[in-house]
Structure 1
Amino acid sequence: MTPGIDIRIQSIINGLNDVIFPAVDPKESLAAEQKGMIIAQLELILKQLPFVDRYHSLCRDDMRQCAERMLAGAAGGTATLAACEALKEMLAAPADNPRDDYNRVGQAVDALIAAIGQDGDAGYRAQADAIMLGLADRQLWRDRVWSADLGFDPYPAELCSIEDMATGKVAPPNNSGN
């Protein structure tokens, strides 16, 4: 049986710590600094690995729900209405995996936002802005949780564990009212 990805990554960490890194000249400050960053990244990947599919599904589902909401009440000129049709087509043909689907739908939403800026009705523009602000708030929170263990988040106490986020035990805060 082939070892799982987690076992293979742990083997890489062990090889780096036990063989490669001890051979690095400690006078090479950049190399010494990179050792810690490499191990931190690999350990974070190990922590994220069990939740990758759930994370991407959460992101995709939120993007799709927002896209559906943006289609409701669409009003504007030909650019806006054409972008709405393209978005409907994208939603009707999901990609095979959640990450690709998130990106494809996101590109169609970006095109709609650009079209709304050209000839969307003011009320529809305000509706789309509010939907996208809510999505951005939730996605930023998910991204902060996803990478919190790197230690760069200025407010780590606001965050839950990757597991709690990915399993839905903790939902993103509703900062924008959407």
Structure 2
Amino acid sequence: MVLDINLQLNVVMKALRDAVGPAVDPGNKMAVEQLQLSIATLNMVIDRLPLVRKCVRRALADTIEMAERISELDESNPLDPQVTRARAALLDPALDNEDLDVIRQDLLSRVTALFSHERRPDARRAMARAIVAASKPQTDMARAWCVNSGFELDPSVLPKIEAILDVP
């Protein structure tokens, strides 16, 4: 058994290119397109795989920052226990990506619930502004992560994913 995930992905990509590709009927445009898309996706996975952990951790850190901003708008600081838990999770090297993402999703759910239950118009507006402002780093990271997909009108305006994640 080979534990090198990059090697395994490259083997699959080679099989798609060298064995499956020639067997696909060139007249079947959808099959040709899907094969190309599969190979491009595998290339992106190989390229991004080393960055996944940093991306998950950055997403959690950004969510913590947003939750802190939202919590500051309510004198009772209702998100403090979840923020404390999330901060501790960032410091725990034993937690895997899935654990970190569960904590991030829980924190987002609590922010959503707090916002949904807020009835004071001024407080709702302030919370909405904080949520929108906090969404920018996440959106920028997602766009940079997927830039190779070809959907950006001008990819040169985006920072590189490595810069966003502080990867040398």
TM-score (normalised: structure 1): 0.79
Structure 2 counterpart of 1:93: 85
Deviation at 1:162, TM superposition (A): 2.1
What is the aligned length?
158
The AA in structure 2 aligned to 1:161 is: K
**Structure 1 unaligned runs (5+)?**
76-80, 170-178
Q: Secondary structure at the match of 1:167?
A: coil
Structure 2 counterpart of 1:176: none
Cα displacement string for residues 59-92 of structure 1 (whole angstroms, at most 9, x for unaligned residues): 11011111012111316xxxxx7xx63x334334
Deviation at 1:168, TM superposition (A): 6.2
- Whether 1:27 and 2:19 are equivalent positions in the alignment is no
The CA distance in 1 between the partners of 2:106 and 2:152, in whole Å, is 28
The CA distance in 1 between the partners of 2:111 and 2:167, in whole Å, is 25
- Whether 1:17 and 2:9 are equivalent positions in the alignment is no
Deviation at 1:27, TM superposition (A): 1.3
Structure 2 counterpart of 1:114: 116
- Kindly indicate whether the alpha-carbon contact (under 8 Å) linking 1:53 and 1:98 is maintained by their aligned counterparts in 2: no
Deviates more, 1:97-106 or 1:52-61: 97-106
The AA in structure 1 aligned to 2:14 is: N
- Whether 1:132 and 2:134 are equivalent positions in the alignment is no
The CA distance in 1 between the partners of 2:154 and 2:36, in whole Å, is 22
Structure 1 counterpart of 2:92: none
Map 1:1-178; keep pairs closer than 5 Å.
2-74=2-74, 85=78, 87-94=79-86, 96=95, 97-116=99-118, 119=119, 121-167=120-166
Percent of residue pairs identical: 23
- Kindly indicate whether the alpha-carbon contact (under 8 Å) linking 1:63 and 1:102 is maintained by their aligned counterparts in 2: yes
The AA in structure 1 aligned to 2:132 is: L
The CA distance in 1 between the partners of 2:30 and 2:67, in whole Å, is 45
The CA distance in 2 between the partners of 1:168 and 1:50, in whole Å, is 10
The CA distance in 2 between the partners of 1:17 and 1:73, in whole Å, is 55
The CA distance in 1 between the partners of 2:26 and 2:103, in whole Å, is 45
The CA distance in 2 between the partners of 1:168 and 1:60, in whole Å, is 17
The AA in structure 2 aligned to 1:110 is: T
